[in-house]
Structure 1
Amino acid sequence: MKINDVVCVSACRTAMGRFGGKLRSINVRDLGATVISGALERIGISGELIDEVVAGHCRQAGNGPNPAKISSVKGGIPQNVHAVTINNACPSGMKATIIGAQNILLGDISTAMIVGMESMSTIPFLLKTGRWDGFGMGDQVLQDGWNDTRDVVCDLLMGQTAENLVEKYKLTREEQDEFALSSHWKAAKASDEGWLDDEIIPVAIPATKKKPEEVFDKDEPIRGDTTLEKMAKLPAAFKKGGSVTAGNSCGLSDGASSLILMAREKAKVLGLQPLFSLLAYSSVGVENAYMGEGPGVAIPAALNKTNLDLNGMDLIEVNEAFACQILANERVLSWDRSRLNVHGGAIALGHPTGESGVRILVTLYHALKRLDKELGVASICGGTGVACAMVIKREC
């Protein structure tokens, strides 16, 4: 089997929920279940046809053993189907996609449900010393689970690694803010025009004593009314005198995405039209303290496995962890920015870490379809200096 005989037959996501917003009460397992059932329903197949579930999910504290299996069963896949949860930092979802594709290429399975899921709003506080030290006299430290975003190898938060890129590539605050503004404006236009609607599976938000049940189907974090003047007022978030701010960084958010991958022959037998095929993928490592440089390495590594180059890509989708990260990789790869993240990116939509690697593939496919284009590449960097990329060809 050749790699382009691995095809995607369904691709969807939830709308993105703002940190502490409308999805804050929804467990990540239920977000995953929503896109699993939605992906199956879109093409009218039973969960019994799925051979394996591979889910990317980073922030697992408090979510029980193997959240992928819980989402799988809740999403309508039989309990006798294997499921595995992948924690590969921000590329978790794309690495899950790669693993599913590899298992199909090996002939071990013919159908894989791929999921990326994260609820950043439910990351817990931790009392690590409570079990053994008890609660006698004196204070106890309640540790924010968000501290896990610190890379202990380089002893830096992700935003501090972003400031390293600012210094290395001599990036200005103004160009970072300008890029961030464009992300919001592109996403706002895409949302207002309905260009994102085909991606989205509605989430039912349960009723409370004060509110009736709500159907959530529009991306919440987008700020289409923001301006450069508003962004310029934001303080540096990670370094005194720095230029990385909350405004030119990705938003924190909640969401889930899914893809159904199949062997082409299996899709043919089932009468399913492939949406896109895989052409190449890569998984790379870079220096921890410059983790944002990952796409600049991962994209060429994937393209080198094909007879294509970056100029041959109709669209490019790179996860926007930070505006400076996008700008740094632009300096390295010299891409045509008009082809990049045409519907906006994570600065506007948010970056639920375990989900984003799948989300950018879902968004890339739907953008290719809307614009009647064929070839695209997606890439995502991650904490500890890991990155993945994938080249796809639209078929429908």
Structure 2
Amino acid sequence: PLSVAGMTVNRFCGSSMQSVHIAAGMIATGAGDAFICAGVESMSRVPIGGFNPMPNPALYEKYPQAYMGMGETAENIAKKYKIDRVEQDAFALHSQHKAMDAHAKGLLKDEIVPIKTKHGMVDADGCLRPETTLEGLNSLKPAFDAKGSVTAGTSSPLTDGAAAVLVVSEEFAKKHKLPVLARIVSYAVSGCEPDLMGMGPVEATRKALERAGLKLKDMDVIELNEAFAAQSLGVIKALKADVKKINLDGGAIALGHPLGATGARIVGKAASLLARTKGKYALATQCIGGGQGIATILERV
């Protein structure tokens, strides 16, 4: 109905996860009891370099690293944390295998809303690459630095997509008999060096865990957005995270990273995985272009 208000949220890659945080905060202060938190991105419509490629001269002079390409920041992480090509290729292949396995078992169906188009029904992620092999990944040339290690195969593909989650108060859920997957325990955002923007999840995760009074080892499920294999491996190393808990059904390298939609997708995915695995706590976290990180901790209900 027209009486329902809406707003646009912009925190780059973390926009739709930020909308979840805003909804939780508004519910906590009595400013609402039901919010649809959605994100959408049509990256196929955006030209390389964006619509406004000219940086602010004053900002560029003082912070040139803020305008660094995302691929360059991934190369920086690979060099700083000594993440070689072998590790990156293996990580990307594992993401593809996990996603294909989940797809084959029908584990993704409940998370996908089929859409009918003039070209047919869209009811599966279009980025899955079942033909991916380690040999194929090894053969790819570096994409951002001729002497680097980050390739197209170890980067999240350009993707169109949308995602939405429903965030409500406990009272609203009970009144309307809604099936509840999880409750929001804590959330956080943190800044980091723009030229190492992929490490943003590290401090955001630490802040969210501290606010929740929990440790990373308490997390049963971790959804870490895979902007790049090098970036993901850097975060995993810095947090000393258990890789067996991370992206159980594959991540963005296999599924794609439609920037505005990813945050809602991985929060919803974390909640869905908690229900499926019967775990207690889940972490969803991602890096944000320009030098930030965002994190959400959930508890299964």
On whether the aligned pair clears a TM of 0.5, the verdict is yes
Percent identical pairs in the alignment equals 39
Aligned-residue offset at 1:149: 11
Highest relative contact order (Cα 8 Å, sep 6+), 1 or 2? 2
Structure 1 alignment gaps of length 5 or more = 1-77, 126-142, 207-212
Give the drift of 1:83. Answer: 0.8
Q: 2:144 aligns with which of 238, 253, 266?
A: 238
Conserved? CA contact 1:123–1:146, under 8 Å: no
- Going from structure 1 to structure 2, the CA distance change for 1:393 and 1:99 (only over 3 Å counts) comes to same
Q: Which residue of 1 aligns with 2:94?
A: 182
Question: What is the rounded CA distance, in whole Å, between the counterparts of 2:265 and 2:166 in structure 1?
Answer: 13
Instruction: Give distance in 2, aligned partners of 1:97 and 1:149.
Output: 30
Residues 115-134 of structure 1 aligned to structure 2 (within 5 Å): 115-124=38-47
Letter aligned with residue 30 of structure 2: G
1:282-329 per-position Cα deviation (integer Å, ceiling 9, x unaligned):
011111111001111111110101221110110111100000011101
Answering whether residue 126 of structure 2 is matched by residue 214 of structure 1, we say: no
Q: Which stretches of structure 1, 4 residues or longer, exceed 6 Å deviation after superposition?
A: 148-151
Structural mapping, 1:277-356, within 5 Å: 277-356=183-262
Alignment of 1:251 onto 2:174: no
Q: Tell me the matched-pair count.
A: 295
Task: String of CA shifts for 1:164-214, please: whole Å, max 9, x gaps.
Answer: 1011101101100100000000000000100111101001112xxxxxx51
Specify the alignment match of 1:3 in structure 2: none
Shift of 1:382: 0.9
Following the alignment from structure 1 to structure 2, what is the Cα–Cα distance between the partners of residues 369 and 363? 10
Match for residue 26 of structure 1? Answer: none
Deviations 1:21-68 (A, max 9, x none): xxxxxxxxxxxxxxxxxxxxxxxxxxxxxxxxxxxxxxxxxxxxxxxx
**What's the secondary structure of 2:12's corresponding residue?**
coil
Match for 2:23 among 84, 87, 100?
A: 100
Q: From the superposition, tell whether residues 104 and 149 of structure 1 become closer, same or farther in structure 2 (CA, over 3 Å).
A: farther
> Which is further off, 337-346 or 264-273?
264-273
Name the SS for the 2:144 alignment partner: coil
For each residue in 1:207-246, what CA deviation from the matched residue of structure 2 results, as whole angstroms up to 9, or x when unmatched? Answer: xxxxxx5111011101122111101111111112000110
Structure 1 residues 223 and 114 mapped into 2: Cα distance closer, same or farther (>3 Å)? same
Change in 2 beyond 3 A, CA 1:148/1:333: farther
| Conserved 8 A contact 2:186-2:298 | yes
Determine the C-alpha separation between the residues in 2 that align with 1:333 and 1:358. 23
Amino acid at match of 1:112: F
Q: Structure 1 residues 122, 267: closer, same or farther in 2, change over 3 A?
A: same
Other structure's SS at 1:304 match: helix
Could you tell me how far 1:145 is from its partner in structure 2?
A: 3.6
Alpha-carbon separation, structure 2, partners of 1:221 and 1:271 = 36
Equivalent-residue separation in structure 2 for 1:193 and 1:368 (angstroms): 18
Greater per-residue helix proportion: 2
Other structure's SS at 2:127 match: coil
User: Partners of 1:186 and 1:390 in 2: how far apart?
Assistant: 23
Could you tell me how far 1:144 is from its partner in structure 2? 5.6
Which amino acid in 1 is paired with 2:127?
Answer: P
Alignment partner of 1:82: what SS?
A: coil
For residues 386 and 80 of structure 1, do their structure 2 counterparts lie closer, same or farther at Cα, with a shift above 3 Å needed?
Answer: same
Give distance in 1, aligned partners of 2:52 and 2:296.
29
Contact 1:186 1:344 in 2 (8 A): yes
Match for 2:71: what amino acid? G
Shift of 1:147: 4.8
TM-score norm. by structure 2 comes to 0.94
d(CA) in 1 for partners of 2:20 and 2:194?
23
Give the C-alpha shift of residue 377 in structure 1.
Answer: 0.4
In structure 2, stretches of 5+ residues that fail to align are none
CA distance in 1, matches of 2:54, 2:19: 21
Aligned Cα root-mean-square deviation (Å): 1.9
Residue 146 of structure 1: CA displacement? 8.7
For the residues of structure 2 that align with 1:149 and 1:225, how far apart are their CA atoms?
39
Contact 1:343 1:367 in 2 (8 A): no
Q: C-alpha deviations, 1:256-279, integer Å up to 9, x for none?
A: 111111111121122223221000
Q: In 2 relative to 1, CA 124–156 (structure 1 residues): closer, same or farther, beyond 3 Å? A: closer
Q: Distance in 2 between matches of 1:263 and 1:96?
A: 15
